Amino acid sequence: MNLEEKKDNTLWYDNPSIVTWLIILIISIIILSSQSFSINSNVNALRMFQDILNHNITYMIALVYFISLKTKFGKKYFDYINIVMMIVFFIVFVTSILTVFQSFNLATLLTLAINTILVVYFFHVFMRGTRFWKEFSLEKSPFNELSSDWFFWALVIVEVTLFAVNLITTSTFNGTVLATFDCIYVILLSRYIYLYSVYLDEKKINVKEEKQEVKESAVEEAKIAEEKEVVKDDELEKGIKKEVEKPVKKEETREDKDSNDDEDKPVKKTKKGDK
């Protein structure tokens, strides 16, 4: 199967570009809907912008992150903006811990679980392709024992459970809409991280295959060169034997000719009286 056939058989949710565009769309809907639900006729533009930053700061940062991936700047400084996102996820993780102490219930515990898995998953995937991974020996982390599939499905299951809890506890249309879009956002974000981990695995496999092919080609070239040397040595040895055998044959033929000449000479018969 060639590359074009693989692209044609790729499902829509396995396409990172489509997933990132969906995330941008969902984040935009969350920000606009949350702001429209809390809109007030007496609120000016500055106050509205402050409300957006106060209530949707993490969504705004995520929106900037995914939009930057569509630009040359984001592609060039991809590792650096990932570090910024990890800092944001870590801050959200710490905030969720404080929220549990402030309001202990099932929803806050599930939120803490989601933020914990998310920060670990994001860190272990997006740091794996950088030099920090080798410098700090992060391959020895116990979290590497868990597969990318495990992280992804754990996030999906916990997020769906949290969504069910929010539907039960909420009694307003606004809360239901925001909980629904937030659930979709977390699942798509998990899928985005998962697809990047798949990309790194395939890249690692391709590098190994290329090294193996180079190694095999080098061995094959060495064998061919060795065979050529053997052929050259055989030809040289045969040439030397021919050169050595030629004068020997000539000498033998001359000797044989002389002996034949002597045999062909008539023998004179001597009479008894002759001296």
Residue 181 and residue 30 in contact, taking contact as beta carbons nearer than 8 Å: yes
Q: Which residues of the chain have pLDDT under 50?
A: 1, 3-5, 8, 41, 208-209, 248-252, 257, 265, 267-275
pLDDT in tens, 169-205: 888 888 888 899 999 999 999 999 999 999 888 887 6
> What's the pLDDT at 27?
93
How far apart CA 72 and CA 68 sit, in angstroms, is: 8
How far apart CA 153 and CA 260 sit, in angstroms, is: 103
> What's the pLDDT at 120?
92
